Structure 1
């Protein structure tokens, strides 16, 4: 009988081949959902490549269309791309994207499940030499402003006692805490020019095991970066994130530079260093990016508010203790703060009473924000003699300075009890020390 010719499949490239090999021990990896793109946990039997196979998230190279089969036979069968995706129940694009996200973080060891998180209690934040280094996840890419914030937040630690790594997606920093890959996480909360970063506030509400352990306010210093030896007069374009370009619009106009918007300023700095940008192009980025990628700083404080006014507030996150209580009520030399989320039963009309619960006990509300109440999007109001009306319902998030004596637990707990009398939902997102602004 004449054998039917089978269509030849293209094997995975080398950096995914090892990751796609089926091993005997099950593991759990996070992959984006095909419908939402959000991380979800998918059980599989995948052996992974070593740390030398970590993907370069800043690279513009694409997956090759063909690759020779390995000559060495693995004890586990080698999966082709479509087979691998099929076993995970995902499309090929989603499966590969999941692997890229996994390997983009050097702290995620795919060879074995991560150890259970202890909230950093087996690390040595004091830098005294005992325990392992403190593992800190920060949102963004290598060379981002968040990397600078992570270094500043733990500046008291020797370099050997701090292991910081980037998380390209906002959800990844929270996942790193929950799966034990990180002891702390540093995320941006708001900018003095652009306002709150609501995505991180939403993630705090969706991850009840994560709490705020501290905060840090840093000035934003936008730098004009170019290749070493570049002629300033030869520059005609500048690439960066739309926010950074907006912050520097006036200065860029004075310099006569055209702008190119890119998704990530740090990735643009990497691309410039790798020679992947056109000649005559500069980048707006941080001094950290200049140091990471060997770029020259042509101009400092390029933002239009060079005299002051452009600051970003960062939050330091950690896991709550196993009993659900906060781990960070003691220590620190700054003002004591708390962040509380609540949803009044009668809606925004009860907001004054909620504020008074703190003010009447000697505490000051320093910030108020609100987010959609996803568990109860609409609040229906019944009125006698009139048809019912429906209004959107909200979760309010407030920052409170606890006053004197610092960290007065009795007064704070009493205020929270007062909130519970008028709210269907109350959660303390963290009690922490407010760090002094770094200038």
Structure 2
């Protein structure tokens, strides 16, 4: 028997049980998933979380201003800073800032008042400091603010002074010169990593988290899809290289990870799983028809993990119950598509939030031709006395559910949904329905 263990390696060393502390760097930290050979990957999950969130003061950020003169060491002399219009604060790496304090004894709140407008530099962009970017100097010459963690490597401060209107101080701060003599600056930051990304090998990142990584676990979207794409592109591969990066060296934790493959063959004489006996044939009768055998090119509804589609139906005929549904689909991706098909009651012209029964699971292999996906309901068949919907959701992969053309008896409207939002009618311009076929059995009371 071979090794059927799925392992995670960090910098070439086996990782223990989560949480796993990892040092992320701009150059990249090597992770690797090691899989048993010749088994299909079914699902994969990964979660990151910041390793800590206690704020501390950044050491000696570099200061510069249009009012500073070079000192004996060639660096700006911050003790002489009268008539400053701007101030630059630079510590050279992305950090998760939480507080800023400017102390300039010569700045004051008595007329004319003075203040500072703050911009932060992160990932190549200048952004206003949230939640408010303008600070006022108090009577003690201090301007300070605390804020949620924000990623930045540099701050630019524009100095403001009160202007006069009609000979009187207006209380409005406008760009001007402020005396920054004997200035002191304090910037606080947490050790949260910023702009964390994950890529397969040396490819472009498939996952990016802008700003500081939070203290609550963050799921890595697209993890299963990225691993499957690598396996499709590298047949026979049992190792999947991953590259973890952050904007500056910082620790994070892998809060959870899991990779599921198809079960390994058993240890008995059989070389594979024993197939269950086929179910007896169902004495079904077809539902509404006729249906198109070849859909019109390009006419269909795109479905993926973020987009769902639904077809509405009228009540089942008297004395009959639903046995199975068939949907005309095409898998447009390179991997097997998986998901669920659920029956929902009608709620104001859209599927109700809760399904009528447990969803039916389905798989659809990749292919270039449309195919009829058949989903059989558990017996005995049950009548559906009111309007109802068949809701198709995709968990992995992507597919097209073809439009049905001319409407037929028993078919109602269709709808689609994006990111769990409201259901939107498909519209009469496409015939208003998605290619479906129903199969009946005598209903049981």
TM-score (norm 2): 0.25
Q: Which has the larger radius of gyration?
A: 2
**Structure with the bigger percentage of strand:** 2
**Structure with the bigger percentage of helix:** 1
